[in-house]
Chains A and B, each alone.
Chain A
Amino acid sequence: MDIIINLADGVPIYRQIVNQIKYLVASDLLLPGEELPPIRTLALQLKVTPNTVVKAYDELESSGVIHGRRGAGTFVSDGRPVLAHEERQRIIEQRIDALLAEAHQLNFTADDILRMLRERRAAMKSGTSGEPTELRRK
């Protein structure tokens, strides 16, 4: 399972695990019914204390993303679509927040952002390789 822990992220480790597993489920990299690694294996792989993995799995289980069968491992639940939408929305909203903060730092207004958004999307659609919009400044 492809999970990366970033200590400088400011986000607690268990939360990062939860988020990334939700992301994997949301983007179909983890299919319903697929088995998740046991706690000890994931802890060894990520080099974190097993209690963190326990916490993450507990939270995932209480929000219905996964379910565990006693002695038989942990599996991804069905009922994906609702969560996936919420999750996807939350992820994009995080990206937008970061983008807005960055833009503000670089002295762009929200209108500039919207304009550039449309320009980039048009460029992507017409298939031209991405030259930075800045070079085409007036």
Chain B
Amino acid sequence: MTRSHRRLIGPLRAGLATTFAAALLCAAPAAAQIRIGELNSYKAQPAFLEPYRKGWELALEEINASGGLLGQKVEVISRDDNANPGDAVRVAEELVSRERAVVVFGTFLSNIGLAVTDFAKQRRILFLAAEPLTDKITWENGNRYTFRLRPSTYMQSAMLVPEAVKLRKKRWAIVYPNYEYGQSAAATFKALMRAAQPDVEFVAEQAPALGRIDAGAVAQALIDAKPDAIFNVTFGADLARFVREGQTRGLFKDRPVVSLLSGEPEYLDPLRDEAPEGWIVTGYPWYSIKTPEHDRFLTAYQRRWKEYPRLGSVVGYSSMMSIAEAIRRAKSTDTEALIKAMRGMPMDSPFGKFVWRAIDQQATMGAYVGTTTVHQGRGVMRNFRYIDGAAVQPPDAEVRRMRPADAMQ
């Protein structure tokens, strides 16, 4: 230890002790308002969740500008869940017991979404799962306290299957990230394809670990299998690696690709002018949607944040607005009244009207399906159309079979 360090130690300890004491003393939650809790993995998934936060903050400002809810101002207490279910459950508990939130919304990763879903059931508080895609949140592990906004894995795969069938290709290769979202997207795609096109053959399956794809090896393995078409579920950095390596090695030459989520600006924009041509994708072509609802949202968002919205923005905005609408209809913040109000509730969103289904508490918000191309140095979607979430649901009997009995009360 150097001499200068020794002299530092005393003041350093004193400084730390003072900060400690100050932290202990300042605490206290605040005044009477409607408090809504929000938790998400802001540090772990900033690319999606920074726009998401801007989305719900915009909605919150609009709500408070028009007088708040039930005559009171609304406050959202937002926390980072440290990207693991254990901390997420503690944070949710803190929001409910210490911050006295009446509703909790958010979460991104499917395992965290499931953990908070179960917490909501235990704690009897309404939880709006904004982003997690796993089907289990509304089906196998569903409960009456949990509502989910984004189209589930099943819905999004089902949106792409008709396009895949139109290609009339027999040999398909699948590449997906090796965790529940990827596994269930691949399984749903295979099941629905087999039902629609019985002679389909899945000649190759590659399941690299999430975030750690060895794109060269995966691309080469897919080339060796000689498929006619490819179904891709990778996203984020994995997608960028896969696109670059695949294009250099000629993987996509004369091979149509059907890809989940790749049309979302979060995942398409980083590719810039290397965005793939002619991929059939689900996404959010914010630059070309010409509906009055979306124009209103786009203008408001750009005026407030001076940047263009991403899909996360729409998710955050619609989540906050749904909660507000539920509180207005229930005329109270009591959980039972909110559940009753939200089941079957119609909503307006930048994507148009959708409904919160009563049968499984899934929102019928849909997605845009289109083809990618490069335009002015950036990847865009064209020839797109909006597919309503209500059109890609399994039959009601099947849903009732999957959902637990006590969730249907």
State yes or no: do A and B come from one complex. Answer: no
Interface residues of B (CB under 8 A from A): none
